[in-house]
């Protein structure tokens, strides 16, 4: 058994052991849970790195069904996702040690958090459809209990129900996809599915089933309705895991089925175009809806939709280019998507942990009652800023590297098929640019409204900094965000075994042909980027400017802010989350369809205004036009069948009898 497989299986064992922390009480329970989760994280990182460098191995586990033992395989793809899971699980475990302090009812978390992580690790390492689905369901069901952790709120129970329903719809579609592959290969084992030839029609069926199934779980527009409901209501450390890793496991499943089990030979041109369209629309709709939120965690959940869209743009480009035989560029697209996968895991994990710190300290998720937190929570503010810069794709942080690689893939795409198909590629790149710029707008709003300005409520002015565990938990991904942004040339060769496995192409040679300082995806005349030089240049220039301009030994004079001469300023005069996004609400009114109500009270005289109220609600179009009609239709049809349920036992016996007769008539 290879080293990486040993490490991976011990990670699974460690996380399973963490379930038994539920027998303990209080602080011991919390410490053991967090310790074992941290150990799992470390083991997963080690397993991922050794698997990527030395190659993994397969093993037949002595459990499972009698005729179908569990197959585990630690190949390059599984190793990479182990690395993704581990690198967020470790900081979240450290953070939880502080975050869960004072939580009275720990036992549900102590049972379901390890099971949830075990589910994700199991999906990644699975090498047959049965094991895959088993762990997939474990992941979905245990995360349901985490979403409904605070089940005393009606909102949480509702969110949990929608989540469970959608997760099982997704599970059913994925099962259908495996059924198609089973029919082609005659076996549940992935190795047999890889070998089997599949007709183009059935390949497309399997692709569509997998696409919709994994797409639902990943939150692709318009299947995303559950995501902004479920992610905000879970405890923040769980939200970080759900948004940071669980969505990535869905991306993993999609890559596993389409790239690995089917392979580039089966790709058709419209697969890539469809994924590209889904990715572009998810990116744009996700960020546009995020801009209109004032619940901090809900806003972050919409950003997950946007980032899944960016990952899908990379994957769509890879599909399209692989179909037309440009395997090097397809590998670049895949690398860009995978790079964004780990980047998003890190910065979104950090953002949710930061939101958790703010929630912990102020007790609210509503941005309209925050403000000025940078003075009371300086550490959280600084670390949160790193995540904001990363997610807004600004150099020298990591988000920029993966978006840059996606742009490069799109721009280097040669002529494909017809002019229209060729034009889709740069168009999706332009949509990526729009999404990136809107994300920057949104995070200026988040950071500006939450951390800058004046406190908008007593809750915000009474806020306090969080403890060292939480700070340390947030510091780890912040450092990783900067490192992944500065040293992509060292990290991409590590990931390179994934395209080697899936597309039989390597990028390692071209990526660092100019040394570790320069990232050159194809060659240096095409494009190059050097984050270290930019950072050093900026530090030198900025330091020089500061040193030259800053008068020594004097402190800056402070005075009141300028308020047009009006001495009566109030914190509510500041721009808030709703007013910040007003221009966009007006520009994209066709997409938002905002319901606005302005009411002016004039009790004394028609020229004297007493009170102005303004209420705006921006709903989610997908929920309004897809989910609600389906829900209504289901209710309507079940009403029609309702009276059939009210009959006596003999009617039920008759139903059973006729069903059996029918089945016998059809199948024998």
Partner 1 sequence: MSSAFVQMLQAILLLLLAPLAAGFVSTCKARLQNRRGASVLQPWRNLRKLFGKEVVMAEHASWIFRTAPYVVFTATVMAASVVPALLVDTPLSLTADVIALVALLALARFFLALAGMDIGTAFGGMGVSREMTFSALAEPAMLMSIFVLSLGAHSTNLTTMINHTLNSPFALHPSLAFAFVAMLMIAVAENGRIPIDNPGTHLELTMIHEAMILEYSGRHLALMEWAAMVKLMLFATLITDLFMPWGMTLEASPAGVSLALALWIVKLAGLLLALAVIETGLAKLRLFEVPEYLSGAFVIAFLGLLSYYMLEVGA
State how far the alpha carbon of 367 is from the alpha carbons of 294, 338, 383, 455, in Å: 5, 32, 18, 11
> Which residues on neighbouring strands pair with residue 36, listed in sequence order?
none
Query: Contact between 3 and partner 1 (CB under 8 A)?
Result: no
* Rounded-to-integer distance, Cα 657 and Cα 15, Å: 47
Query: Contact between 566 and partner 1 (CB under 8 A)?
Result: no
DSSP label at 253? H
Segment interacting with partner 1, rule: CB under 8 A, options 24-32, 101-109, 334-342, 560-568 = 560-568
| Nearest CB to partner 1, comparing residues 114 and 354 | 354
Q: Which of residues 486-515 bind partner 1 (CB under 8 A)?
A: 514
Helix/strand/coil (H, E, C) string of 68-81?
EEEEEECCHHHHHH
The count of residues interacting with partner 1 (CB under 8 A) is 80
| The binder of partner 1 chosen from 101, 151, 194, 526 (CB under 8 A) | 526
What's the closest the beta carbon of residue 442 comes to partner 1, in angstroms? 9
Q: Which of residues 159-198 bind partner 1 (CB under 8 A)?
A: none
* Rounded-to-integer distance, Cα 395 and Cα 387, Å: 12
What's the closest the beta carbon of residue 449 comes to partner 1, in angstroms? 7
Query: Contact between 534 and partner 1 (CB under 8 A)?
Result: yes
What's the closest the beta carbon of residue 368 comes to partner 1, in angstroms? 13
Query: Contact between 243 and partner 1 (CB under 8 A)?
Result: no
| The binder of partner 1 chosen from 472, 518, 616, 626 (CB under 8 A) | 518
Buried b / exposed e along 18-36 (16+ C-beta atoms within 10 A): bbebbebeeeebbebbbbb
What's the closest the beta carbon of residue 382 comes to partner 1, in angstroms? 9
Query: Contact between 556 and partner 1 (CB under 8 A)?
Result: yes
Query: Contact between 374 and partner 1 (CB under 8 A)?
Result: yes
First vs last C-alpha separation in the chain: 47
Sequential DSSP letters for 137-196: HHHHHHHHHHHTTTTTSHHHHHHHHHHHHHHHHHHHHHHHHHHHHHHHHSSSBHHHHHHS
Sequential DSSP letters for 470-498: HHHHHHHHHHHHHHHHH-HHHHHHHHTHH
Query: Contact between 107 and partner 1 (CB under 8 A)?
Result: no
| Nearest CB to partner 1, comparing residues 552 and 557 | 557
* Rounded-to-integer distance, Cα 481 and Cα 143, Å: 26
| The binder of partner 1 chosen from 55, 208, 527, 621 (CB under 8 A) | 527
What's the closest the beta carbon of residue 175 comes to partner 1, in angstroms? 39
Query: Contact between 524 and partner 1 (CB under 8 A)?
Result: yes
Sign of CA dihedral 104, 140, 85, 483: negative
What's the closest the beta carbon of residue 392 comes to partner 1, in angstroms? 6
What's the closest the beta carbon of residue 410 comes to partner 1, in angstroms? 8
Q: Which of residues 301-330 bind partner 1 (CB under 8 A)?
A: none
DSSP label at 224? -
| Nearest CB to partner 1, comparing residues 526 and 647 | 526
Query: Contact between 393 and partner 1 (CB under 8 A)?
Result: yes
What's the closest the beta carbon of residue 312 comes to partner 1, in angstroms? 18
């Amino acid at each position: 058994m290879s080293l990486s497989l040993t490490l991976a299986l011990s990670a699974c064992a460690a996380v399973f052991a963490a379930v038994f922390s539920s027998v303990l009480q209080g602080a011991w329970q919390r410490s053991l849970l967090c310790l074992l989760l941290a150990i799992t994280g470390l083991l997963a990182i080690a397993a991922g790195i050794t698997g990527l460098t030395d190659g993994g191995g397969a093993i037949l586990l002595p459990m499972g069904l009698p005729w179908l033992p569990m197959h585990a395989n630690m190949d390059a793809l599984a190793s990479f996702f182990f690395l993704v899971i581990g690198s967020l699980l470790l900081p979240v475990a450290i953070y939880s040690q502080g975050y869960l302090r004072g939580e009275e009812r720990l036992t549900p978390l102590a049972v379901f958090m390890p099971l949830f992580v075990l589910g994700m690790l199991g999906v990644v390492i699975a090498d047959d459809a049965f094991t895959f689905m088993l762990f997939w369901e474990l992941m979905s069901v245990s995360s349901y209990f985490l979403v409904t952790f605070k089940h005393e709120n009606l909102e949480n129970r509702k969110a949990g129900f929608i989540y469970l329903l959608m997760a099982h719809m997704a599970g059913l579609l994925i099962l259908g996809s495996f059924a198609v592959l089973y029919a082609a290969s005659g076996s549940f084992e992935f190795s047999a599915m890889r070998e089997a030839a599949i007709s183009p029609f059935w390949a497309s069926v399997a692709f569509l089933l997998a696409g919709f199934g994994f797409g639902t779980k990943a939150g692709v527009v318009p299947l995303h309705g559950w995501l902004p409901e479920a992610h905000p209501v879970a405890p923040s450390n769980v939200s970080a895991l759900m948004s940071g890793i669980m969505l990535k496991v869905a991306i993993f499943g999609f890559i596993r089925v389409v790239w690995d089990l089917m392979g580039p030979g089966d790709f058709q041109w419209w697969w890539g175009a469809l994924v590209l369209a889904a990715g572009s629309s998810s990116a744009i709709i996700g960020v546009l809806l995020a801009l209109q939120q004032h619940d901090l965690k809900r806003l972050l959940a919409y950003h997950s939709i946007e980032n899944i869209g960016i990952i899908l743009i990379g994957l769509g480009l890879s599909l399209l280019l692989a179909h037309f035989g440009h395997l090097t560029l397809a590998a670049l697209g895949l690398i860009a998507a995978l790079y964004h996968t780990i980047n998003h895991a890190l910065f979104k994990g950090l953002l949710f942990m930061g939101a958790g710190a703010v929630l912990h300290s102020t007790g609210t998720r509503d941005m309209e009652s925050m403000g000025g937190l940078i003075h009371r929570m300086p550490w959280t503010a600084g670390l949160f800023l790193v995540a904001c810069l990363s997610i807004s794709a600004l150099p020298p942080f990591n988000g920029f590297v993966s978006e840059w690689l996606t742009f490069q893939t799109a721009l280097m795409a040669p002529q494909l098929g017809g002019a229209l198909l060729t034009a889709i590629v740069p168009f999706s790149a332009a949509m990526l640019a729009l999404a990136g710029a809107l994300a920057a707008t949104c995070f200026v709003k988040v950071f500006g409204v939450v951390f800058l300005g004046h406190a908008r409520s007593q809750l915000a002015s009474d806020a306090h900094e969080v403890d060292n565990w939480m700070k340390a938990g947030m510091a780890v991904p912040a450092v990783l965000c900067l490192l992944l942004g500065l040293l992509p040339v060292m990290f991409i060769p590590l990931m390179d075994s994934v395209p080697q496995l899936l597309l039989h192409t390597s990028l390692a040679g071209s990526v660092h042909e100019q040394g570790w300082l320069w990232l050159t995806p194809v060659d240096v005349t095409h494009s190059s980027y050097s984050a270290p030089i930019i950072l050093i240049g900026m530090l030198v220039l900025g330091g020089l400017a500061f040193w030259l301009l800053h008068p020594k030994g004097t402190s800056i004079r402070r005075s009141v802010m300028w308020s047009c001469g009006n001495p009566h300023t109030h914190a509510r005069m500041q721009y808030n989350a709703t007013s910040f996004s007003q221009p966009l609400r007006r520009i994209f009114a066709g997409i938002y369809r905002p319901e606005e109500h302005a009411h002016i009270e004039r009790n004394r005289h028609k020229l004297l205004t007493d009170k102005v109220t303004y209420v705006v609600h921006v709903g989610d179009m997908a929920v309004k036009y897809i989910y609600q009609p389906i829900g209504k239709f289901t209710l309507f049809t079940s009403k029609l069948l309702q009276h059939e349920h009210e009959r006596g036992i003999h009617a039920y016996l008759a139903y059973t009898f006729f069903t059996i007769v029918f089945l016998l008539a059809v199948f024998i």
